[in-house]
């Protein structure tokens, strides 16, 4: 996959999800095309991670951090490159602090979270990365503290609602599973709508590109599926809402109000096939309340 297209999606995605929790920087101190895809985040207050709808992503962002997402497995060279970029970030932050007459504590320097579809055991062992299951779930490997780096192997994350927003950044079946879970969320879910809007805007921006690889197109297809299915669902919900409105208006006109008994009639009428639904509406004006309830009960 072309990393630049993936990085563009990552930037839109993380900025869209995290901006309500604090300050997100995808440029400024992160400059130069070689650094695209690194996102800096500074929380604006204490995040109640155990209850937050962003789950594990909120826990990652509970303190100053930088996030780099790769679309493929990475090598030792790429981890060292990330470390080099992180040191540049530290230098910039130290300069900011000095200009404000402050001193940064090493333990308060932002941790770099490297998100990868999968990570080889040799890579993790080579950098001394270890699971810390007391504080973190499986799939999260913490390097010795001096590095201020953690590696997230997305394919090892448990399939739970807590990990959903990180698993969407995975590959293949991992990403498709996350897409299905997002679509299954209630249409009123704010994060669901936010992510679908991000997907739509990103897709619009990259579809005009001519140098997309097959992997780029697979990513677009996976994410477009989420948007299209959700849009179809929204259209269906709109149709059902319109049908409900029609029935309730007719009942209100006919009987003055829609009480609990008539509400049950409405609920069950909406379950009828379209032809039966239309036929019932045509007959509705000639039915008394008692006849309607009796007639409807006979249809249950």
- Here the tokens at position 240 are 């059902």
- Quickly list DSSP for 176-218: HHHHHHHHHS-TT-HHHHHHHHHHHHHHHHHTT-S---HHHHH
Q: What does the pLDDT look like over 97-140, one tens digit per residue? A: 888 888 877 777 889 999 999 999 999 999 999 999 999 999 99
- How many Cα atoms are found within 13 Å in the side-chain-facing hemisphere of 78? 18
Mean pLDDT of the 192-218 span: 72
Phi first, then psi: what are they for 263, rounded to 5°?
A: -65, -40
Q: What does the pLDDT look like over 140-195, one tens digit per residue? A: 999 998 889 999 999 999 999 999 999 999 888 898 888 888 888 887 788 888 88
Q: What does the pLDDT look like over 62-83, one tens digit per residue? A: 888 889 988 888 999 999 988 8
Q: Could you give the percent of the chain with pLDDT greater than 70?
A: 81
Measured at the CA of 117, the angle between CA 13 and CA 207, to 5 degrees, comes to 45
């Amino acid at each position: 996959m072309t990393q630049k297209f993936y990085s563009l999606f990552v930037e839109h995605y993380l900025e869209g999800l995290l901006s309500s929790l604090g300050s997100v920087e995808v440029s400024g101190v992160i400059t130069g095309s070689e650094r695209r895809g690194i996102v800096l985040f500074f929380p604006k207050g204490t995040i109640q991670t155990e209850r937050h709808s962003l789950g594990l992503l909120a826990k990652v962002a509970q303190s100053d951090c930088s996030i780099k997402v790769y679309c493929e497995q990475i090598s030792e060279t790429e981890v060292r490159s990330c470390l080099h970029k992180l040191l540049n970030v530290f230098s910039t932050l130290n300069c900011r602090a000095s200009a404000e007459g402050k001193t940064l504590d090493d333990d308060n320097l932002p941790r770099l979270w490297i998100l990868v579809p999968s990570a080889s055991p040799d890579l993790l062992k080579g950098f001394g990365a270890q699971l810390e299951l007391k504080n973190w779930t499986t799939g999260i490997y913490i390097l010795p503290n001096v590095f201020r780096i953690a590696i997230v192997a997305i394919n090892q994350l448990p399939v739970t609602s807590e990990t959903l927003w990180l698993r969407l950044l995975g590959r293949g079946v991992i990403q498709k599973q996350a897409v299905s879970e997002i679509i299954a969320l209630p249409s009123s879910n704010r994060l669901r709508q936010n992510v679908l809007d991000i997907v739509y805007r990103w897709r619009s921006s990259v579809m005009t590109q001519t140098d997309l690889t097959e992997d780029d197109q697979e990513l677009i297809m996976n994410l477009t599926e989420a948007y299209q299915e959700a849009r179809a669902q929204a259209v269906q919900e709109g149709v059902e809402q319109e049908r409900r409105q029609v029935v309730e208006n007719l009942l209100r006109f006919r009987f003055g109000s829609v009480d609990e008994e008539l509400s049950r009639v409405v609920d069950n009428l909406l379950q009828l096939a379209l032809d039966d639904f239309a036929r019932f509406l045509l007959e509705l004006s000639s039915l008394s309340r008692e006849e309607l309830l009796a007639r409807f009960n006979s249809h249950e």
